[in-house]
């Protein structure tokens, strides 16, 4: 059953803002959660995949855990941060935990071999290796800033840092990545 079908079967929330949907879900409206998932789940899966080095299964686990956390804590959300920022913050923390746990228990590289042409695959592998060399906060910052679902302001809110700080750090990190990848990305 697709999300659209589920949404059709479930009662719809009157307020279709993120906060309204979350409150409707807290009141027992499961359709509101379906709407939220329709908006963010695929984007969250993409970000989780990037944060977890391309591991799709682990990314699914992270997103599912994020939804579970949302379901448990929906009532405690006070509205001082946007629902979207809150969702991404939970996801980022969960990915960080999973990556740390996996790093402790499994030394194997996280990246899957991406499909596509050989040069692109090699470039992606090199990029993943370069990202892996960054500290976790820096790696998260770069990926959040290039994630299509987030503006820089939202990324800064997820990271809980000022946007000016985010931009300056991003500038430095991009320079560092370019220097690291120069031999690989050169034509």
Comparison of 83 and 170: residue with beta carbon closer to other proteins: 170
Which pair of structure tokens corresponds to residue 74? 């929906």
Comparison of 20 and 60: residue with beta carbon closer to other proteins: 60
- DSSP assignment of 25-66, as one string? HHTT-HHHHHHHHHHHHHHHHHHHHHHTTT-HHHHHHHHHHH
Comparison of 23 and 49: residue with beta carbon closer to other proteins: 49
Exposed, middle or buried: residue 36 (CB in 10 Å: 0-12, 13-18, 19+)? buried
* Alpha carbon distance 136, 16 (integer Å): 35
- Computed from CA positions of residues 39, 62, 111, 132, in that sequence, does the dihedral angle turn out positive or negative? positive
From 86, 108, 89, select the one nearest 97 (Cα to Cα).
89
Pair 112, 55: CB distance under 8 Å: yes
Give the range of 14-22, 26-34, 102-110 binding other proteins by CB under 8 A: 26-34
Interface residue with other proteins, options 9, 27, 68, 113 (CB under 8 A): 68
Interface residue with other proteins, options 2, 14, 106, 108 (CB under 8 A): 2
Interface residue with other proteins, options 22, 24, 145, 156 (CB under 8 A): 145
Pair 88, 36: CB distance under 8 Å: no
Interface residue with other proteins, options 46, 110, 132, 134 (CB under 8 A): 46
Task: Count interface residues toward other proteins (CB under 8 A).
Answer: 68
Task: Rule CB under 8 A: say whether 77 interacts with other proteins.
Answer: no
C-beta of 11: minimal distance to other proteins in Å?
Answer: 15
Number of neighbours of residue 33 by Cβ within 10 angstroms: 21
Residues that bind other proteins (CB under 8 A): 1-3, 6, 30, 33-34, 36-38, 41-43, 45-47, 49-51, 54, 60, 63-68, 70-72, 75-76, 92-93, 96-97, 123-124, 127-128, 131, 136-137, 140, 142-143, 145-152, 159-161, 167, 170-171, 174, 177-178, 181-182, 185-187
């Amino acid at each position: 059953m697709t999300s659209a079908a589920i949404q059709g079967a479930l009662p719809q929330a009157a307020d279709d803002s993120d906060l309204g949907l979350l409150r409707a879900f807290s009141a027992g409206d499961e359709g509101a959660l379906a709407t939220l998932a329709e908006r963010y789940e695929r984007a969250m899966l993409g970000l989780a995949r990037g944060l977890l080095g391309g591991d799709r299964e682990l990314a699914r686990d992270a997103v599912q855990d994020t939804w579970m956390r949302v379901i448990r804590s929906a009532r405690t959300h006070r509205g001082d941060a946007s629902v979207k920022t809150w969702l991404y913050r939970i996801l980022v923390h969960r990915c960080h935990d999973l990556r740390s746990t996996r790093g402790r228990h499994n030394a194997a590289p996280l990246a899957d071999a991406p499909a596509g042409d050989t040069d692109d695959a090699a470039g992606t592998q090199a990029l993943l290796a370069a990202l892996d060399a960054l500290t976790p906060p820096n790696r998260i910052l770069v990926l959040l800033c290039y994630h299509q679902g987030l503006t820089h302001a939202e990324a800064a809110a997820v990271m809980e840092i000022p946007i000016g700080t985010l931009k300056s750090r991003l500038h430095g990190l991009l320079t560092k990545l370019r220097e690291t990848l120069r031999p690989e990305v050169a034509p």
